Structure 1
Amino acid sequence: MDPFRENGPVDAAADGDGGELRYEKRDPADVRRLLGALVSARALVTAQIVPGSISCPTAVLAVDTGSVLLDGHPQEPLNQRLLQAHHLVCTSQLDRVQIRFRVQRLTRVENDGYTAFVAPLPTAVIELQRRETYRLQIPPMQPVHCRLPDAEDGSDGVELRVLDLSAGGLALAAAEGFVLPGTSRLGTCTLLLPDAAPIVLELSVAHSYIEHTRNGTPRLRIGCRFERLPPPAERAIQNYIFRVERQRSARERRAV
């Protein structure tokens, strides 16, 4: 269950089963360090306006002892929506590690002639993608899909593209308006790897958020974990990861 859903708990780090608590940083020094890293990297931040389903790109411009400065938007109506928001759920990445935090009580300011917003320093920042297992970014030219369970009306389950994969879980891409089930469990799904038999497995949702592709198109990214992954399925996934990495290494050697 996503801890930053509009109807979720107020605490930015508390999800339904506590699964993300180990990723949470509440020490103000850690919060400033992570937000400062976003400033240094000039990282794109996706801000989801709550209440509502609107999201927009922004950036962390500066961080000090008690506040954070966020970039404004060229479109004035969107700046007004930011001011009216109860809070913003902000998502970014540093070295493929997802950074997520919540800001509220935004105040409009001017920064070098441009609109910006200052807000109190977040009480917590979550690093969601520190993993014990290697995670493969799926090559776009060799797509992998995962078929979700059949719908309640009897229609076939939808197939979603897999963005990355490890022995512990995977990330799925869906349209911005895709509706997740009310619980964190997706149920029995089928992983469709190239040149391999379909792998039946149980998936649960660890987190979900709107991100923007390189061309600016919004999409829903759904991070999932495997539940009780059978050893044969784990071996098949590890063999696929090894095969793709070996092919990638061979291409890189030929390019040198």
Structure 2
Amino acid sequence: MFSDTQPAPLDLAGDASLADFRITDAVEIRALLKALMERSTLVNLCGADGSAYGTTLWNLDTHNRKVAFTVDMMAPTVQRLVESEEVTAVAYLDQIKIQFDVGSRLLVHGARTCVLQAAMPRELFRFQRRASFRVRTLERSAPTASFRHPQMPEIRMDLRVLDVSIGGCALFLPADLPMVEPGIQVRGVQMALEPDTQFPAQLNIAHVTAIHPQAKGVRLGCEFRGLDHEAQRSLQRYIDATQKRRRMLSLD
């Protein structure tokens, strides 16, 4: 969906497609920034000219609505970021990509340290990290991927979805169905993860692996190709909801 270390192109997708990722609640924004600071999480500051600088969030001043990042005043990139037209911060909390604008930048020199001070963001974006976090599907919802065999179109296949991420999925291919070889692209796939989570897709079969002898089938590792924004949003909601359900089940 989006590059790991670079900002997501917010101006390309349009406001509607970003609504599910945008956070404007001040309390939630402060909580996420506090987590970045307390964990000393690496934050990449990315300038409009392509410059980037790795730092950590050093201070969170909620009263004056200021944040401060640790910087090396001798680093040439730091001065370029101060003068840059736009600067965006990108960081990760577990598998969640955090992104926000860094405005009103000012270098503040102390006795032994130097920090880059900026305005506290009024909005922040949370994105699922691409192709890194997978959720196992819930069997009771019977999630399936339906398509015609790419080499034998007379055979319709309804394969169970074992797990899914924003970048792909794993399917179970029973031993009594013809093999789908790695490298093949499958078009006209209908993904039905839940009654309200269905979308068309194109799959690239990346690999085929055995599960165990008793399974009587193999696992197809698939990559999504060409998902539109609506499908991506629907898939993201499903991943988040399934993750929460599994957490609740583990507490039962």
TM-score of Structure 1 vs Structure 2, range by shorter chain: 0.5 to 0.7
1:135 paired with 2:134, answer yes
Over 3 Å counting, the alpha-carbon distance change for 1:200 and 1:96 in structure 2 is closer
Contiguous gaps of at least 5 residues in structure 2: 136-161, 169-200, 210-218, 236-252
Q: How does 1:1-256 map to 2 (within 5 A)?
A: 9=11, 15-16=13-14, 18-50=16-48, 52-65=49-62, 66-73=65-72, 75-111=74-110, 113-129=112-128, 135=134, 167-170=164-167, 190-195=204-209, 199=222, 201-204=224-227, 225=232
Letter in 2 for 1:23: F
Q: Which secondary structure does the structure 2 equivalent of 1:18 belong to?
A: helix
Aligned residues: 160
Q: Which secondary structure does the structure 2 equivalent of 1:193 belong to?
A: strand
Question: What's the CA shift string for 1:63-103, capped at 9, x where partnerless?
Answer: 12211111213643112101111221111111221111111
Q: Which secondary structure does the structure 1 equivalent of 2:81 belong to?
A: helix
Over 3 Å counting, the alpha-carbon distance change for 1:42 and 1:18 in structure 2 is same
Letter in 1 for 2:94: D
Q: Which secondary structure does the structure 2 equivalent of 1:22 belong to?
A: coil
Contact 1:202 1:226 in 2 (8 A): no
Question: What's the CA shift string for 1:22-65, capped at 9, x where partnerless?
Answer: 22211222211111110001000111111x11212011111122
Contact 2:7 2:89 in 1 (8 A): no
TM score, norm. by length of structure 2: 0.52
CA distance in 2 between partners of 1:27 and 1:57 (Å): 26
Over 3 Å counting, the alpha-carbon distance change for 1:80 and 1:170 in structure 2 is same
CA distance in 1 between partners of 2:72 and 2:24 (Å): 29
Contact 1:201 1:226 in 2 (8 A): no
2:177 — aligned with what? none
TM score, norm. by length of structure 1: 0.51
Contiguous gaps of at least 5 residues in structure 1: 137-164, 172-186, 207-223, 229-256
The root-mean-square deviation of aligned C-alpha atoms, in Å, is 3.7
CA distance in 2 between partners of 1:120 and 1:89 (Å): 12
CA distance in 2 between partners of 1:130 and 1:57 (Å): 19
Over 3 Å counting, the alpha-carbon distance change for 1:112 and 1:56 in structure 2 is same
CA distance in 2 between partners of 1:75 and 1:117 (Å): 13
Contact 1:108 1:115 in 2 (8 A): yes
Letter in 1 for 2:121: P
Give the drift of 1:108.
Answer: 0.5
Q: Which has the larger radius of gyration?
A: 2
Q: Which secondary structure does the structure 2 equivalent of 1:38 belong to?
A: helix
Segment of structure 1 superposing worse, 196-205 or 63-72: 196-205
CA distance in 1 between partners of 2:8 and 2:25 (Å): 23
